[in-house]
Structure 1
Amino acid sequence: MQQASAPNFFVNTYTGAPHGRDYERWREELCRCTFKTDIQPGDGGSIDCKLQISLLGGLALVVPSGSSAEFSRTREILNDGCDDMMLGIATSGRVLVRHDEQSIELSESQMGLGDMSVPGGARLNNECRFKTIRIPRSLLLSICPKAEDRLGLVLGGQAPIREAIVRYHALAANLGPHTDVVGQHLMAQHMVDLVALLLGTDADRTELANKGHSAVRLELMRADVIANLSRGDLTIYSVAQKAGVSPRHAQRMFEQTGSTFTEFLLEQRLLLVRKLLLDPLNRWRKVSDLAHSAGFPDVSYFNRVFRRRFGVTPSDMRGA
């Protein structure tokens, strides 16, 4: 099993027949022990599957991809004693999910909650894709005591919450394992808060979960800024619109962290240029080119704010 630059971040691929040493090792270490499911061919007689598994704060965020795989909680696997809940998220096509003696079909962006203490599973192929979140039962029930009432149902309402879950899953799965322990637990708690809002909970717990939802929106806005630093038209309006909040509310959310949107954007652009300057691969690129690539159209302004921030000119930093 391959660990990808973090002790709780795993990425591995298996392509071939469902037998042999490599298959058995992949099946046991990654699928059964980490994903808590068995795996067999989906379409045809062979498996073609890549698994990305991110573990943080007690959660497991799983992103399978490929053309042929079927994941199952079989009677044999149930002996592992895992009674976690699993939220399945259809990302494309129509995903058929088995839960105990029921079957439900999830269309794109729809979700379904499963109980890992009973048989169940889902099939992956070229026409349908999904991702999952495995949540300890006690953790979910502490925020959403009636979660078990939503087992085996198609969760198609609450579109803004479902969108937030999909976007935050991508952020947490890729960045979460590389943060510190405190950051991982916060991301895990925010994810559970979103799931609780989707499932529905009582008034007191909803207020707490909404705080987690607000934190998720801010994290997604900050990530959106960092991913689009080169865009000259990046504004609080475009970032707020994507997050589903008003520009004024978005500005207040940034200010609560101790800096305005404009200050955060400027800081991230300066940090990006510093990183580019210190990269030997960029030693032949002009400073003005690096500034433009980080979203600074005015080089004179860039030079002033860079020196004010780091105490040296961009050329001096590169020379040092």
Structure 2
Amino acid sequence: MPEPGGRPVLHREGALVDQQRTWSTAGYRPDTQFSVWQQIIADAFVPAEVARPDAGEGFAADCGACPVGDLHLLGLSSQRQTVERSPAHVAARRADQYFLNMPVAGRGRAEQGGRSVTGGPGDLVLVDGDLPFRLDFAGPFEQLCLVIPRPLLDPLLADPAAGTGVAIRGDTGPGALVGALLRSLAEHVDTLDARQVRGVTDHLLGLVAMAVVEASEPAVRGRAALLQRALDEAERSLGDPDLDATELARRLHISPSYLTKIFATTGTPFARWLWGRRLDRAWAELSPERGDDRTITEVAHACGFVDSAHFARAFRTRFGTTPSQWRTMGQ
């Protein structure tokens, strides 16, 4: 694997600073720089075929990665190229993550699932690392990429596949908010403590889900659209101890039996989905990195659990450790 470089990836407003890991083709012989870049892409992202349309010596490119809680923010500055992840690449190594790409300079095209979208600075596109895709950059470019683990985003989307390879406008609506937050994170993430980072990532995931849903609405119809409304309402109300299938159905103006039917398409009954989301929220709130000063009982209540003993048993069943053990881990 190439050795880390020593300079920031992006050199204009929104640049990543003080990254935990940087790579660069600088310092390598010109005739080896492109092969070094190919290896950087495999190491920093996923294995893929990286090609350049114009053969020649020399290939100036940089990449930097910075952890943001459970997410990773990467910055790239590179040259004209294509990046193609084939079915063979996917079969060889699954990613279990999404890439939210936003050009900072230059333009790029993304193709996935039969859809093709071209975007310029500020626009966004979500790419599924576990499906074949192609990225095409017709000239020099700079880009931010947010790497999102699949288990963090999928529960927020009724139809995740409908949200990949679609254009998310960066000049209006939730897409503009996501873009502004990514640029701000790239510049200031090194000034945030662990608790602040956790709060930012929770907020960011909700905005990303909102932007993806808005961009994919034309493709999400009927039961899928209703399921998305149910997921959104339930996610907003995780802390409401009265939330159950009957109450959610009432808010959506449908029958409980119909709510059960639309959740059946996910393979997870609503009660189990709600149980899992509340526990996942509690896991995040009690993270040793978060430094939350609330008691475990207060966190349990904030996540919709009324009985602290029941919460502790459910937590241990799901995660294999008690809330107090998890909270003090590493201390």
Query: What TM bracket, shorter-length normalisation?
Result: 0.5 to 0.7
Q: Which residue of 2 aligns with 1:193?
A: 206
Q: How far is 1:135 from its partner?
A: 0.9
Verify the 8 A CA contact 2:116 2:166 in the aligned structure 1.
no
Structure 1 residue aligned with 2:148: 135
1-side partners of 2:115 and 2:146: how far apart? 20
Deviation of residue 68 (structure 1)? 3.1
Compare the two structures and name the one with the higher helix fraction.
Answer: 1
1:157-196 alignment, distance < 5 Å:
159-177=172-190, 179-196=192-209
Partner of 1:33: 43
Name the Cα RMSD after superposition. 3.5
Contact 2:109-2:118 within 8 A present in 1 as well:
yes
Conservation of the 8 A alpha-carbon contact between 2:77 and 2:141: no
The aligned residue for residue 122 of structure 1 is 135
Classify the secondary structure of the residue corresponding to 2:60: strand
> Match for 2:72 among 57, 60, 65?
60
The one of 24, 47, 50 aligned to 1:13: 24
Q: Distance in 2 between matches of 1:165 and 1:114?
A: 16
* 1:72 paired residue number: 84
Please point out which of 233, 240, 244 is paired with 1:204: 233
Change (3 A) 1:194 1:69: same
For the residues of structure 1 that align with 2:197 and 2:5, how far apart are their CA atoms? 17
Residue 39 to residue 130, structure 1, CA distance change in 2 (3 Å): farther
Q: What is the DSSP-based 3-state SS (H/G/I as helix, E as strand, rest coil) of the residue aligned with 1:171?
A: helix
User: Relative to structure 1, is the Cα distance of residues 23 and 156 closer, same or farther in structure 2, using a 3 angstrom cutoff?
Assistant: closer
Residues 95 and 129 of structure 1 are in contact (CA less than 8 Å); yes or no, is this contact kept in structure 2? no
Any conservation in 2 of the 1:2–1:12 contact (CA below 8 Å)? yes
Shift of 1:11: 2.2
- Measured in 1, the distance between the counterparts of 2:171 and 2:98 equals 20
Residue 181 to residue 73, structure 1, CA distance change in 2 (3 Å): farther
Pair 1:75–1:177, CA change in 2 (3 A): farther
Question: What secondary structure does 2:127 align onto?
Answer: strand
Partner Cα separation in structure 1 for residue 165 and residue 94 of structure 2: 20
Equivalent AA in structure 2 for residue 88 of structure 1:
N
Q: Are the equivalent residues in 2 in contact too, given 1:39–1:72 (CA < 8 A)?
A: yes
Q: CA offset at residue 181 of structure 1?
A: 3.4
Query: 2: CA distance between counterparts of 1:25 and 1:64?
Result: 14
Equivalent in the alignment of 1:2: 4
Larger Rg, first or second structure (1 or 2): 1
TM-score (norm 2): 0.52
Q: Distance in 2 between matches of 1:173 and 1:157?
A: 16
Post-superposition shift, 1:169?
1.0
CA distance in structure 2 between the partners assigned to 1:50 and 1:157 by the alignment: 24
In the alignment, structure 2 segments of 5+ residues that lack a partner are 8-16, 214-227, 239-331
CA shift in 2, pair 1:164/1:41, >3 Å:
same
Q: Give the distance between the partners of 1:184 and 1:131, measured in 2 at CA.
A: 18
Give the equivalent residue in structure 1 for 2:160: 147
User: What's the TM-score, normalizing by structure 1?
Assistant: 0.53
Q: Against the structure 1 CA distance between its residues 55 and 3, is the aligned structure 2 distance closer, same or farther, given a 3 Å change threshold? A: farther
The alpha carbon displacement at 1:162 in A equals: 1.9
Render the CA deviation track for 1:102-158: whole Å, top value 9, x for unaligned.
432224433222211112132345465433222111111222333322222222388
Per-residue deviation, 1:159? 0.9
Residue number in structure 2 paired with 1:288: none
Deviation at 1:36, TM superposition (A): 2.0
Q: How much has 1:23 moved relative to structure 2?
A: 5.9
How many Å separate the matches in 1 of 2:94 and 2:167?
Answer: 26
Letter in 1 for 2:71: L
2-side partners of 1:9 and 1:158: how far apart?
A: 30
Count of aligned positions: 207
Cα distance change on mapping 1:42 and 1:164 into 2, 3 Å: farther
Q: Tell me whether 108-117 or 177-186 shows the greater mean CA deviation.
A: 177-186
Deviation at 1:41, TM superposition (A): 4.2
Alpha-carbon separation, structure 1, partners of 2:60 and 2:137: 9
1:45 to 43, 55, 60: 55
1:42 and 1:176 mapped to 2: Cα distance?
A: 33
